[in-house]
């Protein structure tokens, strides 16, 4: 198994990742989604209340449409929660991570790995949230066929934001309730 804690140090913050791996056009698309992400006051309050440090690795590609539409959400979470340390890894530059995080036998992105403050693996999540898969099923298995061209779907972006927040909250609660970490912190 890959040493995720050691790998974390090689990751890049959000904007550094985009500067290094994204073209001007890709950075523009990420910025457009980043600008469109809206966290509610309740979501900001939840994130701001996170107490346990979470190291979060995100395997991504600046070229990837799923990453464009999801990774800016993760950056908003990191901005709202001082407990979240978020680092990005380009899938093609880090094949060891890509190999370790295959989903359904394939190299998918984005994939997020959650670590405790001391680098223990807590879990991982990706490549698309349930809201995205539900929409894809409607588009591809139903009567319509998606074109991939069109305006940002506000309700889907909000649903995906909540899907990701649910997973971040689940991990935070797992960390808060961990007997090992409670003993370490005396709480």
- For 59-99, the DSSP string reads EE-TT-HHHHHHHHHHHHHHHH-TTEEEEEEETTT-HHHHH
* pLDDT for the residue numbered 143: 59
Q: Is the pLDDT of residue 124 over 70?
A: yes
The tens digit of pLDDT for each residue in 132-148 reads 998 888 888 865 544 44
The tens digit of pLDDT for each residue in 144-169 reads 544 444 567 889 999 999 999 999 99
Peptide bond before residue 118 is cis, with ω within 30 degrees of 0: no
The tens digit of pLDDT for each residue in 6-39 reads 999 999 999 999 999 999 999 999 999 999 999 9
Q: How do the domains of the chain map onto residue ranges?
A: 4-185
What is the pTM for the complete model shown? 0.92
Residues in contact with 184: Cβ distance below 8 Å, sequence separation at least 6, in sequence order:
none
CA dihedral for 72, 77, 79, 82, sign (positive or negative)? negative
**Domain 4-185, CATH:** 3.40.30.10
The tens digit of pLDDT for each residue in 70-108 reads 999 999 999 999 999 999 999 999 999 999 999 999 999
Instruction: Tell me the two tokens of residue 68.
Output: 């464009």
């Amino acid at each position: 198994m890959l040493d995720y804690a050691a790998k974390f140090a090689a990751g890049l913050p959000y904007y550094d990742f985009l500067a290094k791996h994204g073209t001007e056009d890709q950075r523009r698309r990420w910025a457009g989604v980043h600008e469109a992400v809206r966290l509610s006051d309740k979501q900001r309050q939840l994130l701001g209340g996170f107490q346990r440090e979470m190291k979060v690795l995100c395997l991504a590609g600046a070229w990837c449409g799923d990453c464009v539409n999801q990774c800016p959400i993760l950056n908003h979470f990191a901005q709202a929660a001082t407990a979240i340390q978020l680092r990005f890894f380009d899938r093609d530059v880090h094949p060891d991570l890509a190999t370790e995080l295959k989903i359904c036998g394939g190299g998918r992105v984005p994939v997020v790995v959650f670590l405790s403050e001391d680098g223990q693996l807590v879990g991982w999540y990706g490549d698309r949230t349930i809201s995205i898969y539900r929409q894809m099923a409607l588009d591809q298995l139903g009567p319509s066929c998606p074109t991939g061209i069109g305006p940002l779907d506000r309700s889907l972006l909000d649903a995906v934001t909540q899907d990701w927040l649910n997973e971040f909250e689940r991990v935070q609660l797992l960390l808060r309730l961990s007997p090992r970490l409670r003993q370490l912190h005396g709480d």
